[in-house]
């Protein structure tokens, strides 16, 4: 099991600033190392203020955005202008404000329907590993659009259509195979409403019996970071970690 590097920040605003700084630094790192950075964005609400902070000049200015290939970890099967679209959230919070090359923005075309969109995105993603993957965690322990107790968790496919217990139901997600093949993975978890589940997930990792999707994020590279805040970590102390 990969021993996660858990960083607990005092509150959400400290988490937002620290996460945006780390992401900016790691994108620049991979551009230096590899000439480009294959960066997969997370959906949901937690990353939005982090994207907005990353778009600010002091951070965005240090990134050669023309060398960033932008992907998504998952998408809801809606159009790019839909309120529920992860693409739309990231576009309005970040991509519209930085000089990213349009051809390098690889959106999951959820409007095609789950199966067709997944097939198409597997082609778009290709076989190269992602350099940097951002993920969130839901209250049920899901991550990307990989939900608990789903056979999807063991798939050998790279991109799969999935079924969310909450609307929008139809989703497309990169698989654990792709997530765990990435060079580095950041899980963003904030707020008291995630505390119980986060404690359960970290205990599963500690005990070496991960069943929840978020606990099965185990990048083979070993570079796994949990970026959290004190509210989310309230059930955990250094002793029981
Ligand atoms: C999505 C996300 C999903 C998200 C979690 C946490 O499309 O909904 O990719 O995995 O990260 O549901 O969402 P919040 O950050 O809104 O709590």
Atom of ligand 1 nearest to the CA of 173: 9
pLDDT digits (tens, 9 = 90+) for 221-235: 889 999 999 999 998
In terms of Cβ atoms closer than 10 Å to its own Cβ (0-12, 13-18, 19+), residue 208 is exposed
pLDDT surpasses 80 at 238: no
Give pLDDT, residue 236.
Answer: 82
Atom of ligand 1 nearest to the CA of 73: 9
Banded pLDDT at 3 (limits 50, 70, 90): confident
Closest Cα to atom 10 of ligand 1: 144
pLDDT digits (tens, 9 = 90+) for 45-104: 999 999 999 999 999 999 999 999 999 999 999 999 999 999 999 999 999 999 999 999
| Ligand 1 in reach of 138 Cβ (< 6 A) | yes
Give pLDDT, residue 237.
Answer: 65
- Average pLDDT of span 5-10: 96
Banded pLDDT at 2 (limits 50, 70, 90): confident
Give pLDDT, residue 164.
Answer: 97
pLDDT digits (tens, 9 = 90+) for 102-130: 999 999 999 999 999 999 999 999 999 99
Give pLDDT, residue 234.
Answer: 94
| Ligand 1 in reach of 143 Cβ (< 6 A) | yes
pLDDT cut 70: percent of the chain above it: 98
Q: How far is the CA of 200 from the centre of ligand 1 (A)?
A: 18
Q: Which residues contact 209 (CB under 8 A, 6 or more apart)?
A: none
Banded pLDDT at 28 (limits 50, 70, 90): very high
Closest Cα to atom 4 of ligand 1: 44
Tokens standing for residue 170 = 């139809």
Mutate to test the pocket of ligand 1, among 46, 138, 176 (most ligand atoms within 8 A of CB): 138
């Amino acid at each position: 099991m990969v021993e996660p590097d858990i960083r607990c920040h005092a509150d959400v605003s400290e988490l937002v600033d620290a996460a945006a700084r780390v992401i900016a630094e790691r994108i620049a790192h991979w551009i230096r190392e590899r000439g480009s950075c294959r960066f997969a964005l997370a959906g949901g609400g937690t990353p939005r203020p982090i994207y907005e902070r990353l778009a600010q000049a002091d951070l965005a200015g240090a990134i050669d955005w023309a060398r960033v290939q932008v992907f998504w970890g998952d998408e809801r099967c809606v159009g790019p202008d839909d309120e529920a679209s992860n693409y739309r959230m990231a576009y309005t919070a970040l991509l519209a404000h930085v000089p990213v090359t349009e051809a390098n923005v690889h959106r999951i075309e959820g409007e095609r329907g789950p199966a067709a969109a997944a097939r198409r995105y597997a082609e778009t993603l290709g076989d190269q590993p992602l350099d940097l993957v951002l993920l969130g965690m839901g209250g049920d322990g899901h991550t990307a659009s990989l939900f608990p107790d789903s056979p999807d968790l063991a798939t050998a496919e790279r991109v799969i259509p999935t079924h969310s217990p909450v609307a929008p139901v139809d989703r497309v997600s990169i698989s654990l195979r792709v997530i765990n093949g990435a060079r580095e993975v950041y899980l963003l978890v904030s707020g008291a409403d995630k505390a119980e589940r986060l404690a359960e997930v970290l205990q599963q990792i500690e005990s070496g019996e991960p069943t929840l999707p978020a606990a099965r994020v185990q990048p083979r590279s070993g570079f796994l970071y949990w970026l959290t805040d004190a509210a989310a970590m309230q059930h955990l102390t250094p002793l029981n970690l």
